[in-house]
Amino acid sequence: MKKQALTFIVGILIGAMLFGGIATIASPLTATPTPHNVYVDGEPVTMEAYLINSNNFFKLRDILAALDVGVWYEPSTGNIYIETDKTYDPDYQGPEVEKPFSAKAVSIPGKREAGIPAIFTVPTGDGPFPVVILCHGHGGSKDEAGGFVVLSEALALAGIASIRMDFPGCGDSKEDFVTQNNIANMLDDIESAKAYIAKDAKIDMEKLGILGYSMGGRLTMLAAEEDYLAAVLWAPAGTPGPTDMFVFMQLEDQEAFEKMYATAKEDGKVTYTAIFGFEQTLGLQWFDDMIGFDPVAGFAGFKGDLLTIYGDEDIIIPPATAKAASEAAVNAKSSVLFEAKGADHGFGIYSEETELTKLIVDKTVAFFLEYLK
């Protein structure tokens, strides 16, 4: 019954592509909730469906859930797998297979009392392997909504190790975000991560890279000195001072920032509402460090190869800001800019645009392969 039903569905999809696909692509699209009812073996099924150019469009996962057919998605390849001999399970992530790398949760000894939660991903084999330190964005985590997981696995498949950590108060960190999340502490954590991987015999510290996303890009600019052969910036917050945070923090101008800063000086902290609607509290040192650490001056010490990726629809770190950050690497051996068309600040990671994320990851892995291998 499952295979017959699945064949029927595939036939419908192919028919839509053959008889309605070209017109759909060529003309403006209008999607309206479909008026048609869906039945499986005579029983009504409720699912989201839209009518576009007289064709019904459904989510593949919804169809397979109604048919009770197994399905899973492989993020590192972008492939979708349908398994007709399995029942539907929304949490199923595919068969257990031995991967050609290990991803080990570790606690890095740091300069502060608390350990630094991290994932150390190393290809299978004797090595030694090139290695990349991954730095997440402001208030993010070592997984960066799955984006850094996809990236670290793709690097490992290419023969490159990586380590990604939770900065203070983020992800699995046990530290207090308000008092401990600041640039000084995060830079210390990057150095601690570097010291940790240097002790592993399978790691080649002569082939060291670093990548930073958003605020992680700012940290990369401050941390990447002569011992880094290659660096990648994803939408870097690399402007001296606090202006790169204005859109994120919904601040109109410098005066609005100064008012918030004054509150932090008086109370030791301040709470604001981010552009995405959540509230966040920042400590005084966060403000002091945003002003006191100059990423442009810091990046002058980088002498390796640089790739800067930005989205043409990014309103938090606009293209001009990303380009200016790349230009701060005045002593870089080479510098390449890549504009991701249709990308906002999330690079598809937070909007489930997997093809866009894959584009960014593939570009990044290819770069590190060229300059670290």
State what percent of residues in the chain have pLDDT above 90. 72
Residues 6+ apart with CB under 8 A from 152: 103, 119, 121, 134, 162, 164
The pTM assigned to this predicted structure is 0.77
> CA 317 to CA 340: how far, in whole Å?
13
Of the pLDDT bands very low, low, confident and very high (cuts 50, 70, 90), residue 54 is confident
pLDDT value, residue 295: 98
Which listed CATH number (3.30.360.10, 3.40.50.300, 3.40.50.1820, 3.10.180.10) goes with 101-240+294-372? 3.40.50.1820
pLDDT in tens, 160-215: 999 999 999 999 999 999 999 999 999 999 999 999 999 999 999 999 999 999 99
Domain map of the chain by residue range? 2-83, 101-240+294-372
pLDDT value, residue 73: 78
Q: Contact, 118 vs 195, CB < 8 A?
A: no
Pairing, β 38-40 against β 43-45: antiparallel
Q: Within 10 Å of residue 42's Cβ, how many Cβ atoms?
A: 5
> CA 161 to CA 368: how far, in whole Å?
11
Residue 36 pLDDT more than 90? no
Q: Contact, 303 vs 330, CB < 8 A?
A: no
Burial class (CB in 10 A: 0-12, 13-18, 19+), 107: middle
Q: In whole numbers, what is the pLDDT of the chain averaged over residues?
A: 89
Residue 2 pLDDT more than 60? no
pLDDT value, residue 3: 42
Ramachandran sector of residue 264 (left: φ over 0; alpha: ψ -120 to 50; beta: rest):
alpha
pLDDT in tens, 262-312: 999 999 999 999 999 999 999 999 999 999 999 999 999 999 999 999 999
Residues 6+ apart with CB under 8 A from 248: 138, 274, 275, 316
pLDDT in tens, 311-331: 999 999 999 999 999 999 999
> CA 193 to CA 134: how far, in whole Å?
10
Residues 6+ apart with CB under 8 A from 157: 76, 100, 101, 123
pLDDT value, residue 26: 38
